[in-house]
Amino acid sequence: MHEIGLNDLKRELKILFDEGVDTYPVALFGISNYYMFNNQEKIEEGFRLFLREVELGNPAKNKSLEDMDLVLELLADYYLLARNTKEFKKSVKWLPSLNAEQKRKIVSWPEKYILSYFQLIVKGDRGYFKDLKDGQEYLMDFAEDDLELLDPKTHPNVLTAIMPGEGDSYLSAPPAFYSIDELSMAKLRKIKEKKAYEAEALRTFLRT
């Protein structure tokens, strides 16, 4: 079943890549799912320790199972990007039908990703994520349908990881919608070391 599952996943990814459908979001989905397939019988020790570090063992009671599924996917994406680049690169090699330029961009994600709390901003027909840590704005590769769903009034802030996508735009891992208060954000801004900031940002969400 394990091998059949991976073969099915690879076949579906190849179809999407060959059709040119959302290449980089599909690649991110393929990378995390390849990793999860390979670790479905037993959680890798490094990932287990990471989950303990960010205090996933005590999720808030007000988070739904659907929310936690998205959070787990976000955590897996972040873990591969920031904590286990060896497995990340292994997953990239497994992806089918990517050209050299696309692979170069994807392989650069561990050096170029940003995990933070972002404010969603819509300017005309374009969506941006404004990093609440430093105010930097990033053009996101949202489709028009995405912008209709992501109303800044309904979902003002998100915790997620973003990385370079098509052209000058960025794509994101699954977003965790959370309106972080200014006091918590001010405490986070005082943390200068990148990995320490990211871990505390994740803990701040998971504690709520």
Residue 141: partners with Cβ closer than 8 Å, 6 or more residues away: 22, 24, 25, 165, 166, 169, 170, 171
> Mean pLDDT for each 10-residue chunk of the chain (208 residues)?
72 90 92 89 89 74 62 93 95 92 95 96 89 96 74 79 95 91 96 97 89
Taking alpha carbons only, the member of 115, 92, 105 closest to residue 172 is 115
The domain locations on the chain are 2-206
pLDDT at position 57 is: 64
pLDDT at position 1 is: 40
pLDDT at position 129 is: 95
Residue 182: partners with Cβ closer than 8 Å, 6 or more residues away: none
Q: What is the pTM of this model?
A: 0.90
Residue 151: partners with Cβ closer than 8 Å, 6 or more residues away: none
CA–CA separation, 16 and 23 (whole Å): 8
Bridge partners, 172 (sequence order): 162
CB contact at 8 A, 103 and 90: no
